[in-house]
């Protein structure tokens, strides 16, 4: 056996291309059911005048293209969802930062109010010690105002 000689392949039969009408009928059949049973394969082969094997291969190729199309469609939908989720995440992160700043401002205001109340209480205590009768009257009036409001 000579290694340098290429192997000869048997002559392949030339396949005829399907006509538009044949393709339309196969597409209609595929859209009805993308699985091909032997009865339908034989019926289609007889109706179209082509070998059953060619119909089986057409179905196999069509299913592969259909799966690829489905995957592409799913990928685009997932990509779109990812873009929406990423956008929402960015928006929420900005909102969190805004709320953190607001919380810090409010905490500062609360601290100021607590300091003012503490000073007011301290002044009341000092005045109670130095002039108890006047302070009891004033504190009573202040409490009346808070209760009425």
Is residue 77 helix, strand or coil? helix
**CB 34 within 8 Å of CB 66:** yes
pLDDT of residue 129 exceeding 70, the answer is yes
Other C-beta atoms closer than 10 Å to the C-beta of 41 total: 16
42 within domain boundaries: yes
pLDDT tens string 64-122: 999 999 999 999 999 999 999 999 999 999 999 999 999 999 999 999 999 999 998 88
10 within domain boundaries: no
15 within domain boundaries: no
More confident residue, 89 or 128: 89
Confidence of residue 146 (pLDDT cuts 50, 70, 90): low
More confident residue, 137 or 69: 69
Note the pTM of the prediction, 2 decimals.
0.51
pLDDT of residue 63: 92
pLDDT of residue 75: 96
Lowest-confidence pick of 46-50, 70-74, 84-88, 131-135: 131-135
Domain total of the chain: 1
Distance CA 70, CA 64 (A): 10
pLDDT of residue 14: 64
Is residue 27 helix, strand or coil? helix
Distance CA 132, CA 144 (A): 18
Other C-beta atoms closer than 10 Å to the C-beta of 55 total: 23
Cα-based angle 60, 65, 69 (whole degrees, multiple of 5)? 145
pLDDT tens string 3-32: 555 555 555 556 678 899 999 999 999 898
134 within domain boundaries: yes
Q: Can you give the residue range of the structural domain that contains 34?
A: 20-148
136 within domain boundaries: yes
3 within domain boundaries: no
- Mean local confidence (pLDDT), 120-145: 75
CATH of the domain at 32: 1.10.10.60
**CB 29 within 8 Å of CB 18:** no
**CB 59 within 8 Å of CB 30:** yes
């Amino acid at each position: 056996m000579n290694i340098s000689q290429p192997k000869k392949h048997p002559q392949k039969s030339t396949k005829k291309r399907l006509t538009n009408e044949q393709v339309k009928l196969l597409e209609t059949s595929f859209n009805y059911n993308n699985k091909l049973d032997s009865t339908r394969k034989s019926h289609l082969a007889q109706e179209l005048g082509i070998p059953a094997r060619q119909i089986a291969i057409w179905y196999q190729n069509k299913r592969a293209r259909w799966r690829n199309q489905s995957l592409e469609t799913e990928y685009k939908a997932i990509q779109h969802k990812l873009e929406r989720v990423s956008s929402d995440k960015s928006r929420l992160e900005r909102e969190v930062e805004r709320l953190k700043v607001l919380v810090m401002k409010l905490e500062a205001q609360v601290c100021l109010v607590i300091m003012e109340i503490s000073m007011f209480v301290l002044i009341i205590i000092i005045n109670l010690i130095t002039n108890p009768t006047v302070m009891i009257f004033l504190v009573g009036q202040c409490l009346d105002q808070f209760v009425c409001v």
